[in-house]
């Protein structure tokens, strides 16, 4: 079991503490919702968590199959809606390293990304657009 603690620091800022590692994350409300936007917003963290989870489980699969994905990046774009205010869409673009991947490797890595635990935990109403840039 992982445990964390979130402390409200005032002025729409929080500090999250990961108990096991003592690492911290600061969040701010976004500018379009009364905040300063000086750090990730909570909804930014949700979108970023999707990308981080997908690439982490891809890394696990890659390691298990002796595939190199070191240097892969994910660009994250979060779309918000109002009424109610919520994340309506997350766009992820995976840019893979300049390595020749087989079609089987590509398929396995893409499937792994689409089925990561965060992707499976988010609302079915949330649009998740996931694309890959392969350098063949």
pTM for the full predicted model? 0.93
Q: 34's torsion region: left (phi>0), alpha (psi -120 to 50) or beta? A: left
Domain ranges (residues) in the chain: 4-33, 42-133
Domain 42-133 CATH class label: alpha beta
56-74 pLDDT per residue, tens: 999 999 999 999 999 999 9
Provide, rounded to the nearest whole percent, the portion of the chain with pLDDT above 70: 100
């Amino acid at each position: 079991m992982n445990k964390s603690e979130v402390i409200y620091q005032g002025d729409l800022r929080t500090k999250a503490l990961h108990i096991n590692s003592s690492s911290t994350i600061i969040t701010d409300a976004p500018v379009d919702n009364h905040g300063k936007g000086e750090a990730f917003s909570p909804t930014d963290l949700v979108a970023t968590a999707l990308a981080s989870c997908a690439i982490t489980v891809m890394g696990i699969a890659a390691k298990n199959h002796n595939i190199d994905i070191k240097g892969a990046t994910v660009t994250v774009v979060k779309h918000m809606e109002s009424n109610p205010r919520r994340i309506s869409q997350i766009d992820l673009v995976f840019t893979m390293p300049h390595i020749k991947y087989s079609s089987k490797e590509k398929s396995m890595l893409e499937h792994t990304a689409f089925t990561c635990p965060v992707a499976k935990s988010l609302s079915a109403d949330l649009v998740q657009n996931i694309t890959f840039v392969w350098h063949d």
